[in-house]
Amino acid sequence: MDTVFFVVCDGIGDRPIAELGRKTPLEAAKTPNLDKLAQMGISGAMHVIDPGVKPGSDTAHLALLGYDPKVYYTGRGPFEVAGIDMQIEPGDVCFRVNMSTVDSKLMVIDRRAGRIGDTGEFADLFNGTEIDGAKFLLKKATAHRLGMILRGKGLSSEVTGSDPKAVNIKVKKSKPKDDSAEAKYTAEVLNKFLEMAHEKLKELKSNKQREKEGKLVANYMLIRGAGVYPEIPSFKEKYGLTSVCIAGAGLYKGVGKVLGMKVVEVKGATGKPDSDLRAKVKKALELKKNYDFLFLHFKGADSLGEDGDYKGKVKFIEKIDKAIKPLVSLKRALVVVTADHSTPCGLKDHSGDDVPVMITSDQVRDDDVRHFNERECAKGRLGHIRAAYLMPIILDLMGLAQKFGA
Ligand code: ZN
């Protein structure tokens, strides 16, 4: 059976950019290796959720891996929390947390507290706090982030968070999203916790020191993404395949954990544009003989798209191209390259545009596509598909599809 290399280039899709002669970064980049794969395989244009739907990275990854997010997605919190190895129990409500800076009227000045580097101190300060029978568990995540679990009886994930998602706006109070006593109780304990935390953070020694140094203080917790642990079949249960997740950023490791994949740490995999992509590919090649499905995630193009940095995005795409070179000459392998969504530099946000997708194996009836990019792939044999079709097509090429009928 072929081993699947499932490469997701986060946010790689884009729109025409005037400065690039109306090319997209993927069209402007020199990508001889991606192009070679496109020549060997079949390509298409893919709607990750549905045409015109702007996917989040979390729902998009579920969809790419064949899990309908409308069935299985319960919020971002559980994936973030799983990604930093917090142990989740049934009934837990999970959140993602940003350390932020607010003024004396609780107006948000900076949603990331000057991108404060280490949140371990805050996790230690509040981990284990109990309010009205509910327990707060916190652990530091990357940069200004933390994961938070709310544990206890009678909790609900049907609550809003405190993050207004913009600056110069007052922090929000958590509110119940339905009429249940559970949602009301959960919102109440969250608001008590946030208020208590703010009072403590204001007086914190390290914040006084930051103030003295003219730095932004970390004096408020912006929480969002409330969700319960999803009841979801593992990748092995669903497809009978052993799988590995190789990613730098927490969310994608979280998706791998939740689906029961083996999440492998790779030195130098940062989840940022400086990430060591070659090391990730090398690790995947090492694991080829022991696993059926290798999920490789490259984050950088998405972050550069969100910064509007089209030159940086072109460069990062060329970095991906160099890193995946060993995949071009692989034997007994099925290589898939695609994206979870487009992140147009002009938009600095995700968009609902389709993404390029290609599948290379010695089983495919190859097409005339010569370059891996948005416009060329759309002319390929795969045509226009939804991500929901991707795993069935892969399984069929592996000879694992179940017959429909007799
Ligand atoms: Zn994404």
- Can you give the pLDDT at residue 171? 97
Nearest 5°: the CA angle 367, 369, 374 is 130
Distance 10 CA to ligand 1 centre (A): 5
Distance 340 CA to ligand 1 centre (A): 5
Looking at per-residue confidence, does 362 or 35 come out higher? Answer: 35
Q: How far is it, in rounded angstroms, from Cα 200 to Cα 187?
A: 20
pLDDT in tens, 60-85: 999 999 999 999 999 999 999 999 99
- Can you give the pLDDT at residue 142? 81
The answer, yes or no, to whether residue 49 has pLDDT greater than 90, is yes
Percent of the chain with pLDDT over 70: 100
What average pLDDT does this structure show over 164-186?
96
Q: How far is it, in rounded angstroms, from Cα 4 to Cα 295?
A: 8
- Residue 47 and residue 53 in contact, taking contact as beta carbons nearer than 8 Å: yes
Distance 369 CA to ligand 1 centre (A): 25
Q: How far is it, in rounded angstroms, from Cα 304 to Cα 320?
A: 14
Distance 302 CA to ligand 1 centre (A): 6
Nearest 5°: the CA angle 249, 252, 256 is 135
pLDDT in tens, 205-263: 999 999 999 999 999 999 999 999 888 999 999 999 999 999 998 899 999 999 999 99
The answer, yes or no, to whether residue 272 has pLDDT greater than 90, is no
Distance 343 CA to ligand 1 centre (A): 8
Distance 393 CA to ligand 1 centre (A): 22
Distance 344 CA to ligand 1 centre (A): 12
Q: Return phi, psi of residue 137, to 5°.
A: -115, 130
Give the strand pairing for 108-110 and 93-102.
antiparallel
Distance 339 CA to ligand 1 centre (A): 8
Residues around ligand 1, an ion, CB closer than 5 A: 10, 57, 302, 340
Say which residue the tokens 């969310």 belong to.
251
Q: State how far the alpha carbon of 109 is from the alpha carbons of 112, 118, 164, in Å.
A: 9, 19, 11
Which among 3, 36, 88, 2 is positioned nearest to 287, based on CA atoms?
Answer: 3
pTM of the complete model beyond 0.85: yes
pLDDT band at residue 143 using 50, 70 and 90 as cut-offs = confident
What is the DSSP secondary structure assignment for residue 387, as one 8-state letter?
Answer: G
Q: How far is it, in rounded angstroms, from Cα 320 to Cα 119?
A: 31
- Can you give the pLDDT at residue 115? 83
Which among 373, 369, 340, 375 is positioned nearest to 55, based on CA atoms?
Answer: 340
- Can you give the pLDDT at residue 361? 93
What average pLDDT does this structure show over 317-326?
98
pLDDT in tens, 102-137: 999 999 999 999 888 889 999 999 999 999 999 999
- Can you give the pLDDT at residue 177? 97
Close Cβ partners of 308 (under 8 Å, ≥ 6 residues apart): 345, 346, 348
Q: Which two tokens stand for residue 5?
A: 């290399």
Distance 288 CA to ligand 1 centre (A): 25
Q: State how far the alpha carbon of 295 is from the alpha carbons of 61, 83, 299, 333, in Å.
A: 11, 15, 13, 13
Q: How far is it, in rounded angstroms, from Cα 387 to Cα 64?
A: 5
- Can you give the pLDDT at residue 285? 97
Distance 211 CA to ligand 1 centre (A): 35
pLDDT in tens, 89-99: 888 999 999 99
Q: Return phi, psi of residue 34, to 5°.
A: -60, -40
pLDDT band at residue 32 using 50, 70 and 90 as cut-offs = very high
